Amino acid sequence: MKIGILATGITPDELLGQYGSYADMVEQLFALVDADFEYAVFDVRDGVFPDAAEQCDGWVITGSKFNVDENRDWMQRLKKLILEIDACDRPLLGICFGHQIIADAFGGKVEPYQGGWGVGLHSYQLLGDNPFIKDGADRFSISAMHRYQVTEKPENARVFAQSDFCKYAGLVYGDNILTVQAHPEFNLQYETDLVALRKGVAIPDDTADAGLETLHAEGAATDSERVARWMADFLVR
């Protein structure tokens, strides 16, 4: 199965050499569950787009430092591609910025959250019947790194995951689009280094410190492998 990774951002320069790009992290995520995928990466933020939505069997939109309300030319083009992917019934995953721009493409509202930044290890409650979740889980924890979030979901979206901090943390559109606000592709060390890098620059000191506490707490662990299995199963349907 060929998966097209629509790269909307890249790892900060200070961390790129150690951890790879966000596209690399998506591939590493699926490697956790030995997913039998091949990949094609499209740097859409640089104007590199696939020729057609049918060019790959499934798609993933990565995270990004950009915000949806910037509405850059490449974002407008990406939203058209999202609708084309949906129209041809290809499976699509969205992570963080990907989660947000998919919601925006379908008429949802994305804006800075009044509660501020979400950073560190966050836990989410699963809701409803989700055929792609076959392990009986009712919660999961993964790394968060966002100031914006979906504040009004599109009419065609169903909530499958939420928390007190993030009401629309996971959305499903029909049986071919799955999105999450947080980052299953981030391991705890990368998240730690990223929060430390952004502390006092983009993220307020107290918020960063609280996020770092969740990452350093006794027993702290991410459910990245579990979420990777859900996502891989969703892609192969």
pLDDT tens string 25-64: 999 999 999 999 999 999 999 999 999 999 999 999 999 9
User: Of the listed 99, 146, 183, 191, which one is catalytic?
Assistant: 183
Q: How far apart are CA 217 and CA 213, in angstroms?
A: 6
- Residue 77 pLDDT: 98
Which two structure tokens, joined as six digits, stand for 152? 């009004």
Structural domain including 127 reads 2-236
Predicted pLDDT of residue 97: 98
Residue 237 confidence (pLDDT): 83
The torsion region of residue 128 among left (phi > 0), alpha (psi -120 to 50) and beta comes to left
Encode pLDDT of 84-126 as tens digits: 999 999 999 999 999 999 999 999 999 999 999 999 999 999 9
User: Is the confidence at residue 19, as pLDDT, over 90?
Assistant: yes
6 φ/ψ angles, rounded to the nearest 5 degrees: -90, 95
Helix and strand totals (H; E) in the chain: 7, 11
What DSSP letter does each residue of 151-179 carry, written as one string? EE--TTEEEEEE-SS-TTSEEEETTTEEE
136-157: average pLDDT:
97
Catalytic member of 146, 166, 185, 191: 185
Per the listing, tokens 């606000």 go with 181
Asked if 60 contacts 179 with a C-beta cutoff of 8 angstroms, the reply is no
Task: Give me the chain's average pLDDT, please.
Answer: 97
Instruction: Respond yes or no: is residue 185 known to be catalytic.
Output: yes
CATH number at residue 213: 3.40.50.880
The b-or-e profile of 109-127 (16+ CB within 10 A means b, else e) is bbeebeeebbbbbbbbebe
Structurally, how many domains does the chain consist of?
Answer: 1
Q: Is 88 known to be catalytic?
A: no
The secondary element (H helix, E strand) that includes residue 42 is strand 38-42
Active-site option among 96, 122, 146, 191: 96
